[in-house]
Amino acid sequence: MQRKPIITVTLNPCYDRTVNIARFEYGGTNAVLSVQRDTSGKGINVSTVLNHLGYDTVCMGLMYSKGKEDFNKFFADEKLRSDFVEVPGSVRENIKIFDESAKTMTEFNEKGSVAAEETVRAVMKKIESAVASSSLVVLSGSVPPGFPKTIYAELIRKCGDAGVRVILDASKEFLLEGIREKPFLIKPNIDELQTIAAKKIESENEVIAEAKKISEAGIAYVCVSLGKEGCILVSGNRAFKAPAMDIEEAGIQGAGDSLVAGLCAAITDGAAEEDYLRYATAAASASIMLPGTQLCLKKDFDELFPRAAVQRL
């Protein structure tokens, strides 16, 4: 039986202009080692990794007329299916400064073009019509001006009505509104978890406690990404941790989106919940091993998966 596709939603696609420097000096002059400009978007990244791993996926959301050719070429090269609502305007451009000595990324992100009311309605209608034929929906990334702060919440509600599970990877008011509709899984980082908890979180025990509160309120899984400390998965009163893998880091861009793709793969495969983090950390680590904006390849995922450690907390 053929699997239904995983839909990813990208409402604010972008160009990522990545500038690599040896050591970032704030307020000083920095010599540029290399510059790369790529089509991007969090949902698009998730679909790219899923496609590399052999899962059927469709990219949906909003696309602007100025820049669509580059994205269409990318989708064709990657053999990725896409079904965007196209509107007039330009794709935004973000600047990413990667410090090779510290292995840190400093980001400058544009907000994006203002969406008209009819654009919001068209996006909602297209996604709503596709949801019933999908196995899982991923809502991730920023939202351009013009969309209501409840946009993800509304989409989660529509998916729920169709009996389709949702992964939400958002921030600020879009995260706060979205969790009201009880998506299947959320993937906050520490800052986003603190936004939900409305307080500072200073220890692993506090991470687990706050994630349990969220899960017990009706969200099946809470996966908290901890950067170099790995990630924690909580479901009800159960908690698991996967430490960061011991690999040679070449780039960190797209690691979080790769982690989400790994979670999608685990859910699609019907994996045991402790294996969710094995999929997630193997996918994220496979992206971190690659330079620039390259994302997780299946051969690297397959090599890393057996090495991914998970412990019950």
Residue 292 has pLDDT above 90, yes or no: no
pLDDT (0 to 100) of residue 102: 87
Of 104-108, 149-153, 209-213, least confident by mean pLDDT is 104-108
pLDDT (0 to 100) of residue 214: 96
pLDDT (0 to 100) of residue 1: 54
Kindly tell me the burial class for residue 180, based on how many C-beta atoms sit within 10 Å of its own C-beta (0-12, 13-18, 19 or more): middle
pLDDT (0 to 100) of residue 131: 94
pLDDT (0 to 100) of residue 100: 86
pLDDT (0 to 100) of residue 255: 87
pLDDT (0 to 100) of residue 249: 76
Phi, psi of 124 (to 5 degrees): -60, -45
At how many degrees (to 10) do helices 255-269 and 42-52 cross?
Answer: 50
Q: For the sheet containing 6-10, what is the strand order?
A: 81-90, 57-66, 6-10, 136-140, 165-169, 185-186, 221-225, 231-235, 238-242, 311-312
Q: For each of the domains in the chain, give its residue range(s) and CATH number, in order of start.
A: 42-82+114-312 (3.40.1190.20)
How far apart CA 123 and CA 126 sit, in angstroms, is: 5
Share of the chain above pLDDT 90, in %: 81
Mean pLDDT of the chain: 93
> Of 36 and 193, which is predicted with more confidence?
193
8 A C-beta contact, residue 143 and residue 174:
yes
- What's the per-residue H, E or C state across 93-129? EEEEEEECCCCEEEEECCCCCCCCHHHHHHHHHHHHH
Mean pLDDT for 154-171 is 96
User: pLDDT, tens digit, for every residue of 29-60?
Assistant: 999 999 988 899 999 999 999 999 999 999 99
Q: Which two tokens stand for residue 242?
A: 């996967």
User: pLDDT, tens digit, for every residue of 83-111?
Assistant: 999 999 899 999 989 888 888 889 899 99
Residue 16 has pLDDT above 70, yes or no: yes
Mean pLDDT for 122-143 is 95
Residue 248 has pLDDT above 80, yes or no: no
pLDDT (0 to 100) of residue 197: 94
Show Cβ contacts of residue 219 under 8 Å, excluding neighbours closer than 6 positions: 179, 182, 183, 184, 185, 186
The residue written with tokens 């094995």 in the block is: 278
Supply the pTM of this predicted model: 0.93
Mean pLDDT for 306-312 is 94
Residue 171 has pLDDT above 80, yes or no: yes
- Cα–Cα distances (Å) from 17 to 36, 80, 107, 131, 184, in that order, read 6, 22, 10, 32, 33
Residue 2 has pLDDT above 80, yes or no: no
Residue 273 has pLDDT above 80, yes or no: yes
Show Cβ contacts of residue 261 under 8 Å, excluding neighbours closer than 6 positions: 45, 46, 47, 49, 50, 53, 283, 296
- Cα–Cα distances (Å) from 172 to 25, 178, 203, 255, in that order, read 29, 10, 22, 20
Of 12-16, 117-121, 123-127, 294-298, least confident by mean pLDDT is 294-298
How far apart CA 187 and CA 279 sit, in angstroms, is: 14
pLDDT (0 to 100) of residue 41: 94
How far apart CA 192 and CA 170 sit, in angstroms, is: 8
Residue 201 has pLDDT above 90, yes or no: yes
How far apart CA 29 and CA 9 sit, in angstroms, is: 38
**Number of helices and strands in the chain (H, E):** 10, 14
